[in-house]
């Protein structure tokens, strides 16, 4: 990573950041959300420590999942951000929770838990039912979407359920990608078994699997 030449920094009166600080040799923190191309929160912290004042207003024109928003909030700095990806916007919106007291945050999360339990029961039971194919991912997504609609008037609860839906979809996508890798690396005669075990609700016969081009 290149740095601004020292003479420019000295001329503008800005603090010089050491290369080892930029390299984050002792990285101990990661971002709240997984997002491609995001900065480490510690890098944002280094930059804010070097260049922000107590009355600074931070602007992040490419917010992503909101790392700069969260780091600014940690330092009690005002921060504005822009983002065009709807999923990233919802993740970044979680930073609004920093405007609540600890008690208020706990109350919101408790409310979300109660709504979740009412719809799904406890999370362990839900994961078991899904693993046993007694409930489909489509049903789970539909119920989560219904939850989002039921709390639309409360931006904090809506944020919780939208992010839950996003993360669930991401996890399912990762699972599907892993299945595809296994499928591609498997011999032809075993592909029928993989499809049948992975999608039992389709109840496909070997001939249907072959005709569909799945093997």
| Whole-number Cα distances in Å, 152 to 95, 139, 144, 155, 160 | 18, 20, 12, 7, 11
Lowest average pLDDT, out of 83-92, 139-148, 205-214, goes to 205-214
As a whole number of angstroms, the distance between CA 114 and CA 95 comes to 22
Q: Which residue has the tokens 């039921």?
A: 150
What does the pLDDT average to over 15-38?
67
- pTM of the full structure: 0.64
Task: State CA 126 to chain mean position distance.
Answer: 21
What domains are there in the chain, each with its CATH number? Answer: 1-99 (3.40.50.150), 101-184 (no CATH)
Q: What is the DSSP letter of 76?
A: T
> Are 65 and 44 a contacting pair, CB within 8 Å?
no
- Check residue 55 and give its pLDDT: 92
């Amino acid at each position: 990573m290149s740095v601004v030449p020292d003479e420019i920094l000295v001329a503008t009166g800005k603090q010089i950041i050491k290369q080892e600080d930029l390299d984050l040799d002792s990285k101990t923190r990661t971002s709240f959300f997984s997002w491609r191309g995001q900065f480490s929160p510690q890098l944002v912290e280094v930059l804010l420590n070097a260049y922000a004042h107590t009355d600074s207003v931070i602007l992040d024109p490419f917010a992503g999942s909101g790392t700069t928003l969260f780091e600014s909030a940690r330092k009690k700095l005002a921060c504005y951000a822009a983002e065009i990806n709807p999923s990233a916007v919802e993740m970044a919106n979680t930073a609004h929770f920093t405007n609540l007291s600890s008690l208020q945050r706990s109350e919101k999360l408790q409310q979300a838990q109660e709504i979740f339990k009412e719809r799904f029961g406890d999370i362990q039971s839900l994961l078991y039912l899904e693993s046993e194919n007694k409930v489909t991912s489509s049903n789970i997504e539909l119920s989560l979407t219904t939850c989002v609609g039921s709390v639309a008037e409360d931006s904090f609860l809506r944020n919780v359920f939208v992010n839950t839906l996003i993360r669930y979809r991401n996890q399912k996508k990762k699972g599907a990608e892993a299945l595809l890798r296994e499928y591609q690396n498997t011999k032809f005669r075993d592909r029928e078994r993989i499809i049948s075990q992975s999608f039992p609700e389709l109840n496909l016969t070997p001939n249907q699997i072959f005709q569909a081009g799945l093997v």
